Amino acid sequence: MNDLTLLYYTAHKLPDDCAERVRAHLLESGAGLPIISVSQKPLNFGENICVGEIGQSFYNCYKQIYVGVQKVKTPFVACCEDDTLYNPEHFAFRPAEDAFYYNKSMWYLEGVRKGVRRGGIFWHKWQTGMFGCITRADLLLKVLKKRFDFTPEEPMPRRHYATAGWQEPGRFDGERTEFFKTKIPLITFNYFNALGGKARSVVHKPAEETYLDYWGDATKLKDNFWHGKND
């Protein structure tokens, strides 16, 4: 039974060919699950909703999620970001209660600085975000409707950083936040055009390297997606 919808949203900041490879991987990881994509340019990806080139900001990120969740017909929804690699184990999770559940098993993969080639590395810190959110669709819709009813227009001047009202649901919305952790981690690209900017690298814990076997060598993985260099 397909009771989970993949809600994909993008501001088109990845190179186009890299973004296409990430979407192809999402199709494979979520095989058979319905997809709703909300983009700023038209995409042939699931049921596509193009909102126009509204720009990259935290407000607009949640606006795209809000537009998409209104079309979800399944009980559950998984938020899927355009710079994250998912796996079937993540999509097998289902919330047990009405709360926002976030997967804490995530690792960064170093991207590339423009014009510079560097060897890829995996690293992580204990954080999560909307890229790892799986929740009830009606709960996400309720929380975001409340936000956008209160703030129907984006506050200007536009801020690049997150403000208290535009962070992950459950943190400031009076709803519960819960966490889960898959053995196979999610992989998020670390690059300069990401919504929150490029994160500062930290040293990973070697004891957890075994969980990265699913993804293989970091340099090859980076080259496969950023440069299309498949073995």
pLDDT one-digit tens code per residue, 14-28: 989 999 999 999 999
Dist. CA 15–CA 181, nearest whole Å: 30
Higher pLDDT, 122 or 187: 187
Query: Is the Cα dihedral 145, 150, 152, 154 positive or negative?
Result: negative
Dist. CA 107–CA 209, nearest whole Å: 10
Higher pLDDT, 43 or 212: 43
The two structure tokens encoding residue 138? 């009606």
Dist. CA 4–CA 119, nearest whole Å: 36
Dist. CA 10–CA 19, nearest whole Å: 9
CB 219 within 8 A of CB 120: yes
Q: pLDDT tens, 142-195? A: 999 999 999 888 887 766 555 656 888 887 788 899 999 999 999 988 766 666
pLDDT at 116 (0 to 100): 45
Q: pLDDT tens, 38-90? A: 999 999 999 999 999 998 888 999 999 999 999 999 999 999 999 999 999 99
Burial (Cβ within 10 Å: 0-12, 13-18, ≥19) of residue 172: middle
CB 9 within 8 A of CB 38: yes
CB 55 within 8 A of CB 156: no
Dist. CA 209–CA 64, nearest whole Å: 34
Is 60 exceeded by the pLDDT of residue 203? no
Sheet of 84-85: strand order equals 84-85, 186-190, 106-110, 122-123
Instruction: Decide yes or no: CATH 3.90.550.10 for domain 4-105+127-184.
Output: yes
